[in-house]
């Protein structure tokens, strides 16, 4: 079942952990407590050269600029319409340099993109995007930018009585329309960032409308909070790839039982990308606390499906 994993320390850690917590004895964990949590961007699917969701949002901004000429010479619509992706990266870089102006402009436009749309209409837009959108350099549809060994791991855990959840800084409602297809994980097991919603009802019917404000920013220390809020259990195995997953990995595991904390290391420039920026603290903690670092280059026989 783990055919995409080469024999080595990472695969052994997975197989040994599962064997120990599912066999009768002191390490046994009852099936209802076998909750596993997975980050998404960079852990289950590719996050470079940009988050897939950012590509979706830039396309939506460009569509909006095309439909409204008053917007077309204003940021972030101008950058979106002219394909100037460096502006978006620059807005984030300048934020880390203490200049928030462009990031606020971007966030305001993004929050307004789907304002007053029903959650169902929004889901249809996402499904439409994934039906055709291609990764800019990997020459494959985004739908096929999922890491095959990690999908095998989802199935392997499920075959041993685990229930798998995705806990991502990405948009909860951006992931939901596609996760059943690409991961076999249904909407009720997707935890992520989200805009506010508002109920509006009349004549015995009602809808949920997207509001132009952030409700949940599901990253860093908020991940364990959202895990409890949504699941009500402390997860046991967990997987991530960045500093934003550090608290989730720290939170997971049951005292006195074996744990499994996987940190995916992007060290495979040939088959995917090689980078550690944004994962420094998590990598330090992995070394300090004995988490399992998964080398894409060495531990995975393949990265993507055919």
**Nearer to a second copy (CB atom), residue 35 or residue 236:** 35
**Nearer to a second copy (CB atom), residue 146 or residue 190:** 190
Shortest Å distance, C-beta 136 to a second copy: 29
**Nearer to a second copy (CB atom), residue 28 or residue 289:** 289
Shortest Å distance, C-beta 54 to a second copy: 22
Q: At a CB cut-off of 8 Å and minimum separation 6, what does 238 contact? A: 36, 37, 38, 245, 248, 249, 251, 252, 253, 260, 261, 262
Shortest Å distance, C-beta 221 to a second copy: 4
CA distance 216 to 92: 19
Q: Are 227 and 240 in contact (CB under 8 A)?
A: no
CA distance 295 to 306: 21
**Nearer to a second copy (CB atom), residue 148 or residue 168:** 168
**Nearer to a second copy (CB atom), residue 149 or residue 224:** 224
Shortest Å distance, C-beta 120 to a second copy: 8
The C-alpha angle 48, 253, 194, rounded to 5 degrees, equals 45
Interface with a second copy (CB under 8 A): 32, 35, 119-120, 163, 172-173, 176, 180, 186-188, 190, 194, 197-199, 201, 204-208, 215-216, 221-222, 224-225, 228-234, 247, 250-251, 285, 288-289
Q: Are 304 and 44 in contact (CB under 8 A)?
A: no
């Amino acid at each position: 079942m783990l055919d995409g994993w080469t024999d080595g320390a990472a695969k052994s850690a997975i197989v040994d952990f599962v064997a120990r917590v599912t066999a009768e004895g002191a390490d046994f964990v009852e099936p209802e407590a076998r909750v596993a949590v997975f980050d998404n961007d960079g852990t289950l699917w590719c996050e470079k050269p940009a988050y897939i969701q950012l590509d979706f949002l830039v396309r939506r901004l460009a569509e909006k600029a095309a439909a409204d000429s008053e917007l077309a010479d204003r940021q972030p619509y101008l950058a979106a319409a002219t394909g100037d992706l460096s502006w978006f990266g620059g807005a984030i870089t300048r934020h880390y340099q203490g200049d928030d102006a462009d990031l606020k402009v971007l966030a305001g436009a993004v929050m307004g993109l789907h304002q007053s749309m029903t959650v169902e209409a929004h889901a249809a837009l996402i499904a439409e995007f994934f039906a055709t959108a291609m990764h800019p350099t990997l020459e494959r549809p985004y739908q096929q930018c999922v890491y095959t060994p990690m999908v095998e791991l989802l199935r392997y855990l499920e075959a041993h009585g685990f229930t798998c959840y995705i806990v991502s800084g990405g948009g909860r409602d951006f992931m939901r329309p596609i996760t059943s297809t690409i991961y076999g994980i249904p909407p009720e097991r997707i935890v992520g960032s989200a805009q506010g919603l508002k109920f509006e009802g009349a004549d015995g019917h009602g809808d949920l409308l997207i509001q132009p404000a952030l409700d949940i920013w599901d990253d860093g220390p908020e991940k364990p909070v959202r895990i409890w809020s949504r699941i009500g259990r402390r997860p046991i195995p967990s997987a991530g790839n960045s500093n934003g997953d550090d608290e989730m990995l720290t939170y997971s595991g049951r005292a006195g039982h074996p744990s499994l904390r996987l940190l995916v290391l992007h060290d495979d420039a040939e088959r995917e990308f090689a980078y550690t920026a944004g994962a420094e603290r998590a990598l330090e903690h992995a070394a300090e606390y004995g988490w399992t670092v998964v080398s894409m280059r060495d531990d995975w026989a393949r990265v993507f499906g055919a």
